[in-house]
Structure 1
């Protein structure tokens, strides 16, 4: 069965295994992480770990999915969708910027790019659980803003992709090419504000 068709087995230690794997991947990266260390960090046997996840790539992907969903849910909980459109977009831009420049976010993107040639399904499935999730959430907000007369957008999916790219300007290439591993709040504010200004200049009323 191809990796894309595999669904993880759920059980009482599923979250425990994910938490242990997250800590090891964050500390050692994908290549450096061993199944023995992950099992130890999770407090389970290797047999138990393998009963949930067939291999390390699949486990890494599930950790990525869980992290992306957590970030997306947090953004929804903390952003008032009824606030002025510029405020909503700024908070969304900061969430995107904070995630891609977080230690775990940097690990995810670097691993997916580094492993993409050997394991294309890893990058493809991460795209579906990460960037595609961001796009869907932005499109849903655009629907609301358009209905309220705050935005004028014909191709909402394209607009969501454009907004995401604006939010990653400067930060993402510096992170991906290991030019910088940390970014100040002022740097992230500059990018987020610029993203909102450019986006509203195109789609604002």
Structure 2
């Protein structure tokens, strides 16, 4: 049975379940998160929780997908395609860099790595909702910029992946290894600015 066929995304308590699960997963990780704790945090019964998500893996995947899609939608909503391409890319780079080092993104990444061998579908679900989804949407924007003559790119999908990797320079590794957990606006802006500068140096007209 597929995730799409299993999950019923209706009912007034659906958002409560997601919010409660997000809170518990972020605090306790995937293995440490109990159904009892999630139900308690969501303010629903275990029966209600199971009516939406009969499997904890489905619930974690839904939390990851919901948060990643929300992030992508927020960034896209801020991009004004009438603005110069550098300005639009700077908005994207700033928000992407901030998201990549956020507590949520880092915790989900750690959970996916920790559970990789037992539950490889968790990593696949996060990849599709996060990196793959973001890169697809970025590629769509780049394709439009190319059509308007603002950028020169042969492979927009490869370029979109390059852009996201540029936004991980320095800070992401520090966050992933737990060396640094809080990052200033100045640090975020420095990475974003350099990412855009290098991207434009390669693909700008």
TM range (shorter): over 0.9
| Distance change >3 Å, CA 134–CA 17, structure 1 → 2 | same
Determine whether 1:43 maps to 2:43: yes
SS of equivalent residue, structure 1 residue 168: coil
Displacement of 1:105 after TM fit? 1.5
CA offset digits 1:136-181 (Å, max 9, x no partner): 1111101111111100001111000000100111122111111111
Determine whether 1:173 maps to 2:173: yes
Displacement of 1:81 after TM fit? 2.1
Contact 2:6 2:53 in 1 (8 A): no
Match of 2:26 in 1: 26
Contact 2:142 2:156 in 1 (8 A): yes
Choose 158-167 or 50-59, whichever is displaced more.
50-59
Give every structure 1 segment of 4 or more consecutive aligned residues whose post-TM-superposition deviation is greater than 4 Å: 3-6
- TM-score normalised to the size of structure 2? 0.94
Displacement of 1:30 after TM fit? 2.0
Task: State the superposition RMSD in angstroms.
Answer: 1.4
| Distance change >3 Å, CA 165–CA 24, structure 1 → 2 | same
Distance 1:23 1:201 in 2: 41
Match of 2:139 in 1: 139
Match of 1:10 in 2: 9
Match of 2:121 in 1: 121
User: What is the aligned residue count?
Assistant: 204
- TM-score normalised to the size of structure 1? 0.94
Displacement of 1:190 after TM fit? 1.0
Gaps of 5+ in 2: none
Distance 1:204 1:7 in 2: 45
